[in-house]
Amino acid sequence: MHGLTLKRPDNFIFFSWSIFLFFIIIISHESGLDEFIASFFYHSQNGWIFRNNFFFEKIIHKGGVIFIMVFYFALLGYLIYLFKEKKKKESQLQIFFILITSILTLLSVNLFKHLTTLPCPWHMLKFGSDRASQGIFTLFSSHYPRSLCFPAGHSSSVFPLVSWYFSRKLLHQEKWGHLIPGLFLGVIYGGAQEMRGAHFLSHDLTTLLLSILISWAVSWAIYRALNYTPHV
């Protein structure tokens, strides 16, 4: 991929989006917006209306995992083909960017899920279980049990596709439309889990925030690596 002319990553774009999302996450959780939205999908007598719904559980949740795994393996196969044939360096960079961002996001979300204590909606007292509401700044508190709920795991497989925009940005070719696949699938995957009671809005927004921050880190790593000039 050497020989490509790369654009220096724009820290302002990354951090302005990240700061905006950070405050939306806090507001959503602390204002009660999370629970307000979740209440539309919970019935005091019947529980979570869509928890066992065939479409949301089998198609979006379980089927979505298979779909995205096939997609990523196809991307990897195409990257190997391009690398072997020494074709389309720009496409190589974009695919590598998307794959490495997706892997790092999945690992980061999984790590946080094992360290944080914020409960899933279906674990909460308000929604028929036994966990009380909890402030977002207690997410690492040792006074609460680990919940494996925060951030959202299902949408972490698709929100990293926003990295397509940032990979194109490195190549001076970005358009806002490059964000659509990641955001569109993120809303579908995340929304389905919110309707089932597995996550709150702030959980999915946190996954999106991690995807953006990791895209920023990958942008800088690639930019530095491909623009490195050894001292003679």
Task: Write the pLDDT tens digit of every residue in 90-101.
Answer: 999 999 999 999
Cβ contact 79:92 at 8 Å: yes
**Is it the case that residue 18 has pLDDT exceeding 80?**
yes
pLDDT digits (tens, 9 = 90+) for 136-195: 999 999 889 988 999 999 999 999 999 999 999 999 888 999 999 999 999 999 999 999
What is the chain's mean pLDDT, rounded?
92
The backbone region for 115, taken as left when phi is positive above 0, alpha when psi lies in -120 to 50, beta otherwise, is alpha
The pLDDT confidence band at residue 214, using thresholds 50, 70 and 90, is very high
CA proximity to 154, closest of 200, 123, 122: 200
Least confident of 2-11, 63-72, 186-195: 2-11
d(Cα 148, Cα 150) in Å, to the nearest integer? 6
- The neighbouring-strand residues paired with 43 are 47
Q: What is the average per-residue pLDDT within 31-58? A: 95
Query: Which residue carries 């569109």 as its tokens?
Result: 184
For residue 188, give the amino acid letter: I
**Is it the case that residue 3 has pLDDT exceeding 70?**
no
Task: At 25, list the tokens.
Answer: 């996450």
Cβ contact 109:152 at 8 Å: yes
Cβ contact 157:106 at 8 Å: yes
For residue 48, the Cα-to-chain-centroid distance in whole angstroms is 24
The backbone region for 186, taken as left when phi is positive above 0, alpha when psi lies in -120 to 50, beta otherwise, is alpha
